Amino acid sequence: MKKRAVYPGSFDPFTNGHLDILKRALKVFDEVIILVAVQPDKASLFNNDEKVAMIEQSIKGIEGVKVDFSSGLTIDYALKNDAIAIIRGLRAATDFEYEFRMAAGNRYVDTQIDMVFFMADAKYSFVSSSLIKELYSHGVDISALVPKPVKQAFDEKIKKRD
């Protein structure tokens, strides 16, 4: 049986920090499903189809990865897809507090799925999706912080607005 994990997030947008966590997770797990969490109450720059497309383009050539989206509980998705773990990235102590509560909630729902945490690489420890959007909106070059397809998607989105 292959060791499968689910890597959930809003991924609005997918960053080089996310990509780094994914590559490191693939050293531990045979398969990783990147799960775009559908959050209807949260305003997103990109819709779910755009997010999935950006991620698929960003991971082209990386084996053992699938991209999907779901509006339900991640723990339920993981169970339905025979995952043994949910992957999360940690940038700072503040992330730990939030993730600790999520892990406890997931254990309450089901004890079969473990939470596996990867510390962010120091060069990405400050990167968040909201920071990327903020920097881009003020004309800062985000090329070093996001995969090329994500940067292109930002540029196209802004051209459509103008």
Which of these, 40, 24, 22, lies nearest to 32 by C-alpha position? Answer: 22
Task: Specify the residue for token string 């049986």.
Answer: 1
> Looking at the DSSP assignment, which residues form a beta bridge with residue 35?
8, 68
Catalytic residue ranges = 18, 42, 91, 129
**CA neighbours within 13 Å on the CB side: how many for 128?**
9
CB 17 within 8 A of CB 35: no
Is there a cis peptide before residue 8, judged by omega within 30 degrees of 0? no
